Structure 1
Amino acid sequence: MDLLKICLEECESNKGLHICLFKKSQHAGLREIYVLGICERILQAIIESISKSICSIFISETMTNPKSKTRIPSDHATNCKIMLSRPVTVGCSADAEKWNQGHFVTKFTLILVALTPSYMHPVIVRILNLFLNKKIMIDPRLIEIFEAQRDLNNDSMFCRMKNAYFGPATEKWMDPGKCFIHTASGMMQGILHFTSSLLHTIYQEFLKDLIEEKLSERLKTLEISTKVVVSVMQSSDDSSLLISFTHVDSVRTHLVLEFVAELLTFKAKYGVYIGIYDSIKTTMMTMFAMEFNSEFFFGSSQIRPTMRWVSAALTVTVRESFSGRQEELSNCLTSVLSGGGSFLCVSIIQSAQCVMHYRLLGSRTSCVYKEYFDELVKSGDPSFGFFLMDNPYCAGLFGFNYNLYKSVKSPNNYLDKVYAFYLSEVQDMKRRIEGCDIKSKKVVEMTQAGSFVTINILQMGDMERWRRMVKSLNLPEDWMQFLIDNPILLYRSALTLEELLIKIAVLVHAPGVAESLSQKNSVVQSVSTSAYAISRRVITQNAYWHKINPDSNEEETIKRSLLFNLVMQPKKMEQRRNTDEDYTEILTDNQLTMLFPKKELYDQITSQIVNLGSQRLVPNLTRTQRKNTTVVVWEEMDKCKVSLMDLMKHKWFGSPTVACHVSYLKEKFEEAKEIFAWLRDCPKETLIQSPFDTPIQLQNFLARLEDKGRDVILSGVPVTNRTGKANIISCISRNFQRNHMFAMIRDERGFD
């Protein structure tokens, strides 16, 4: 709100909004994306915040009340059972077309003025008045075609724009020589998102009251003594409607259904007067069925189009880190579970992912793949391409980090030795470069989900776009040194412009930013790697963000082939073992806790599922509803406990956010030092003693230790206890295969 006056005056001086338009590929065509300037974005956020607050009052508005998506159909079915003896339910699933073009911002102004206090009215009117003069950028490539192909006349709209640009013709929506068009209509879908949803909500609530009133009157004329149950849901341009009444006899029920059809026809035709045009996807008079946001409801059962998530799980990933690829694929498996897939289905999908993964590494194209695979099986390291498989009885439930932990703790124990070697390499490297102006080449990296992995990066693009972006931001060159000297900035908000620039520098040097900006035709590049990933010198062992100087084009590491790095790994470990007397060949308990802070939870999970293979699968012919069930994989940290992040913020910087006694915090710090022996009283000394290379890594590690728990939403046979959540074993038993269950299976609490 502090910037409201400045932004409003800036946009009013421009006599409208400056907007860039981009295209976005989607199924069956293209969709537009509107990008606003900073002042326009702030004004839009103010209007949307007002609309969002009003929308939250209406339970039927699902963008602000996401739980209503499942609660409203379920409550409707429950109310029908209670209030109606033989319920007949009619559904209407509507999708509005031309949602942007069909609206004019003036009616949004009238709605907001009617629903807000008077002191807001001037601001609302002034901001929305700017939407009546939108200046939308024309694609520069189209301007180039105008200039280069003046004789091109194969499209009428193209000719009108070209003639308006050069001047022979005049158009009210375009000035000669200008690279933008003027438009007053339209609300830009996604920009006034909640505001347009508020309009739809008001219309839906009006229809709900109208249908209840008119249908009740109709039932009285037919001498049917029953109540009417009506439920509505809407989310921007998507909406649904459920109408239920009691079945008496075929003749009168048929007459009631005819009247319901008239009401739904009225809904469609009357909506045109306020800019709501039903598309061809709209379906009316569906008996006992309804669709909303691509989810289908039959009574209180919810059916999701599982194929949508199956398809996403089997697409080619474009991550440059091999561990990152597997992490992304693992997340897709969890999405399949949430989308209605059974554990058996997810296990089969993961097998297909495994085949695709090795195909992309050259299993059918590389002449040295056999040698690579033999070495890979010995190593078992996912950073070199080894694919970690879930337990087939609970595939997709626990995530990539759990599989990595199980591999480290596996009987052959080789990956345990690999991590011990790399952690010792980090400490040795830090000792060798201490006091020297040398950038450390990290050999251990943290993935986006917080897993520690060794680094093998297959770069599929150049750094040019990233360099241009960093250079254009004019960031301080010594931003990393500033963080080393002032690590408190990583643990609080920026207070000055200089600190804000440092924060921006941290963000743009994150590995994911450089990776996303370097990708061009990424799927094609990923597929083509099958020809050279193993045998050619294309693998680096450092991340993008080490290249701190955007003006430098020099590579900081030597590229090797994946097979070379894989073969050299055991030789380096052997050399280390022979030359370093203090070298420990396996991970210590402290190191294992640092790599896997949830290792105790992982051990508990393993003990629960260890006997799944001995259970017998039997048919389950009981007819059950399909609902969303929340599976508690592990609990969230007790609110009374102090996280290590808060503890260290208090210890290092005196953070006042921890409401605990000093003696208690001191006791907790000593307990933390027993687990992480490198913790010290100041952040600089902690960084030196830790296995981390930068204060950013250290802060990321502490943030990862904040246990937020893991809940997986399972769409299938409902298995809940009195708390409303489900235990792991019961869910696996009833959702391993459709219409089957494990016989006499019990979890640790004795629930079957």
Structure 2
Amino acid sequence: MRLIEKILKSEIELYNSDPKHRLGNARAISWKKSNGHSFDSDHIVAAGAYFKEYMIEKYGNCWQKNLSENINTNLSKLKWVDVGTCQATSIYNPDVPLDTTSKGEIVAKGKRLIEEIVKIVEKTQFYKPILALRTIVRGLCENPESNKNRAVVHIFGKKQHGGDREIYVMNAELRVMQLCIETIFRTCCSYFPMETLSHPENKIQFAKHHIYEAVVDSTKDSLFIMESADKTKWSQNLSVDKIMSLVLCALPSYLHPFFACTLRIWTNKIIRLPLEFLNNMRKTETKTYEQTFENQLWEDVIRCHKGLEPTEPCMKEIIGTDGQFMKVMSGFMQGVLHFSSSFYHASMINMRDYLFKKLIAKRGNTDLVSFNLVSSDDSSRGCILKSSKEGSKEGKEHLEKAFITTLAEMCASPGFASRCGMSSSVKSTFGTIGLMEFNSNWFVGLTVINPTIKFVLCCTKMVEVESFYERQECLTNLLSQVTENGAHFCV
């Protein structure tokens, strides 16, 4: 229920927003009034330009050739086994009503992904996914029947510390295309050392290296100013428009037609509603209508399901005619989100760091070291200001001005994120002295702290099972979680 509500709220927000703002013309509105769907295209154009400048600085004018070779190499390494890492696959067809049992309950058939992959291999006769990609793209994205150019999925909830996360189950063809898209973006991410999905070893070492170098310099005092910036509604706010704008500005032109063809189907997502919800709706079909929910959103869902007029006009467009699925334009789906969104986020952070260093350089000769960490929706930033231990009064005043500038830049971070189409979470902190959090790791000077609350949470996750064997397997998994989070083996 909460998953559906989150998706519906985002979609209604998108329908009610100004089309100009969600297509990149949001520079005229206050960042405090903008939502996650609006963005300023100038920021994305600048991020793309700075990515090119960054690549030219590292690889010279042949950077496109270097990037293309790495992309082709990584795509050619993909195997059908890589496609089958997900267990389930969706065989849902919105044009065909779902089956019902003798008791009147709605049921949906399912298949393992590996079974559907075998069918693709037998049909295409290709031994690698990249070789079958052209055939798959023609079937999914270049179909003469316009109603077939869509992403058909169903969802289920996965519990996490911040609430339920929606997990999208795709069909096998869509999974192949998604994997190829993510492989291209993963290759792009690998050029950013600060991006920790492609460089997991840098999650802790990258920050510790910069802090250590500052601490061991005995000739200078160092001031550490930190930022821990998490983003909210990441899956709902990220859109094809933002990703495609960055692709056009940052990546080689030969990739543009592929992304223009494939990414657009994510603006036409057909999401099957959970079976439990559909069966609850069916139980009320024979009853005379009366207001059931105090929440107006759910009232509109029921009204659409019963063929009545909803209070929110756009709900008729979102809920399918038979009430079995949602037609959703917002969001970019959890399955396609990881490396594509991380590259987008890293490009924005790269641009911000570049601009800040230019600003500091214009204001005088300041000894500044900055570093960033990015992992999809999570990011952290550290600025280290150095000054001589026996500095003059003028030098100390200059350091104070640099400190104020650095603090102001961090406090302006939510506004910058808003212009880039990202919404800062309430958990974000800006301008903390010597304290930073990234991916549940807390940096206090050279010390890295892992919160021990996870040990307690692992121990309280006992679930009811029917057999002693299942109980022991559950306990073993929980014990593994405890030790992986840093607990002593004596536990």
Same fold by TM-score, threshold 0.5 exceeded? Answer: yes
| Alpha-carbon separation, structure 2, partners of 1:96 and 1:327 | 34
Equivalent residues in 2 for 1:113-128 (5 A)?
Answer: 113-128=248-263
After superposition, the Cα gap between the structure-2 partners of 1:101 and 1:89, relative to the gap in structure 1 and judged at 3 Å, is: same
Q: CA offset at residue 175 of structure 1?
A: 3.5
| Alpha-carbon separation, structure 1, partners of 2:445 and 2:241 | 39
Aligned identity (percent) is 25
Q: CA offset at residue 243 of structure 1?
A: 0.4
Greater CA radius of gyration, 1 or 2?
A: 1
SS at match of 1:65: coil
Q: Residue 210 of structure 1 aligns with which residue?
A: 355
Stretches (4+) displaced over 6 A: none
Contact 1:96/1:279 (8 A) holds in 2: yes
| Alpha-carbon separation, structure 1, partners of 2:280 and 2:304 | 14
Letter of the 1:44 partner, please give it: Q
| Alpha-carbon separation, structure 1, partners of 2:374 and 2:456 | 27
Number of positions where the alignment pairs a residue of Structure 1 with one of Structure 2 = 337
Q: Residue 413 of structure 2 aligns with which residue?
A: 267
Residue 158, structure 1, aligned to residue 279, structure 2 = no
Q: Residue 449 of structure 2 aligns with which residue?
A: 303
Q: Residue 274 of structure 2 aligns with which residue?
A: 139
1:569-626 CA-to-partner distances (Å, cap 9, x unmatched) read xxxxxxxxxxxxxxxxxxxxxxxxxxxxxxxxxxxxxxxxxxxxxxxxxxxxxxxxxx
| Alpha-carbon separation, structure 2, partners of 1:79 and 1:135 | 52
Query: Which of 116, 134, 143 is equivalent to 1:5?
Result: 134
Query: Which of 166, 179, 196 is equivalent to 1:45?
Result: 179
| Alpha-carbon separation, structure 2, partners of 1:245 and 1:101 | 37
Residue 229, structure 1, aligned to residue 369, structure 2 = yes
Letter of the 1:94 partner, please give it: A
Q: Residue 198 of structure 1 aligns with which residue?
A: 343
| Alpha-carbon separation, structure 2, partners of 1:325 and 1:253 | 56
Equivalent residues in 2 for 1:55-454 (5 A)?
Answer: 55-81=189-215, 85-149=220-284, 150-154=289-293, 155-169=295-309, 171-218=316-363, 220=364, 225-247=365-387, 253-313=399-459, 315-316=461-462, 320=469, 324=473, 327-328=476-477, 331-332=480-481, 334-336=483-485, 339=486, 341=487, 343=488, 346-347=489-490, 349=491
| Alpha-carbon separation, structure 1, partners of 2:282 and 2:351 | 53
Q: Residue 525 of structure 1 aligns with which residue?
A: none
Q: CA offset at residue 127 of structure 1?
A: 0.8
Letter of the 1:335 partner, please give it: E
After superposition, the Cα gap between the structure-2 partners of 1:180 and 1:298, relative to the gap in structure 1 and judged at 3 Å, is: same
| Alpha-carbon separation, structure 2, partners of 1:16 and 1:321 | 40
Q: Residue 168 of structure 2 aligns with which residue?
A: 34
Letter of the 1:53 partner, please give it: T
Contact 1:51/1:112 (8 A) holds in 2: no
Q: CA offset at residue 114 of structure 1?
A: 3.7
After superposition, the Cα gap between the structure-2 partners of 1:124 and 1:4, relative to the gap in structure 1 and judged at 3 Å, is: same
1:168-224 CA-to-partner distances (Å, cap 9, x unmatched) read 336222342241111212112342211011010001111212222222333x2xxxx
SS at match of 1:290: strand
| Alpha-carbon separation, structure 2, partners of 1:119 and 1:267 | 34
After superposition, the Cα gap between the structure-2 partners of 1:322 and 1:115, relative to the gap in structure 1 and judged at 3 Å, is: same
Q: TM-score, normalised by structure 1?
A: 0.42
Q: Residue 125 of structure 2 aligns with which residue?
A: none
After superposition, the Cα gap between the structure-2 partners of 1:230 and 1:127, relative to the gap in structure 1 and judged at 3 Å, is: same
Q: TM-score, normalised by structure 2?
A: 0.63
Letter of the 1:2 partner, please give it: L
| Alpha-carbon separation, structure 1, partners of 2:332 and 2:435 | 32
Letter of the 2:177 partner, please give it: L
Letter of the 1:41 partner, please give it: R
SS at match of 1:60: coil
After superposition, the Cα gap between the structure-2 partners of 1:210 and 1:115, relative to the gap in structure 1 and judged at 3 Å, is: closer
Contact 2:235/2:337 (8 A) holds in 1: no
Q: CA offset at residue 36 of structure 1?
A: 1.0
Tell me how large the CA RMSD over aligned residues is: 2.6
Equivalent residues in 2 for 1:346-745 (5 A)?
Answer: 346-347=489-490, 349=491
Contact 1:313/1:332 (8 A) holds in 2: no
| Alpha-carbon separation, structure 2, partners of 1:291 and 1:42 | 35
| Alpha-carbon separation, structure 2, partners of 1:138 and 1:276 | 27
Letter of the 1:241 partner, please give it: R
| Alpha-carbon separation, structure 1, partners of 2:247 and 2:299 | 40
SS at match of 1:228: strand
After superposition, the Cα gap between the structure-2 partners of 1:9 and 1:159, relative to the gap in structure 1 and judged at 3 Å, is: farther
| Alpha-carbon separation, structure 2, partners of 1:82 and 1:178 | 64
Q: Which has the higher contact order (CA 8 A, sep 6+)?
A: 2
| Alpha-carbon separation, structure 1, partners of 2:268 and 2:481 | 43
What runs of 5+ residues in structure 1 fail to find an aligned partner?
350-752
Letter of the 1:153 partner, please give it: T
After superposition, the Cα gap between the structure-2 partners of 1:308 and 1:44, relative to the gap in structure 1 and judged at 3 Å, is: same
Q: CA offset at residue 64 of structure 1?
A: 0.3
After superposition, the Cα gap between the structure-2 partners of 1:75 and 1:119, relative to the gap in structure 1 and judged at 3 Å, is: same
| Alpha-carbon separation, structure 1, partners of 2:372 and 2:181 | 25
Contact 2:230/2:425 (8 A) holds in 1: yes
What runs of 5+ residues in structure 2 fail to find an aligned partner?
1-129
Q: Residue 98 of structure 2 aligns with which residue?
A: none
Q: Residue 19 of structure 1 aligns with which residue?
A: 153
| Alpha-carbon separation, structure 2, partners of 1:124 and 1:142 | 35
SS at match of 1:93: strand
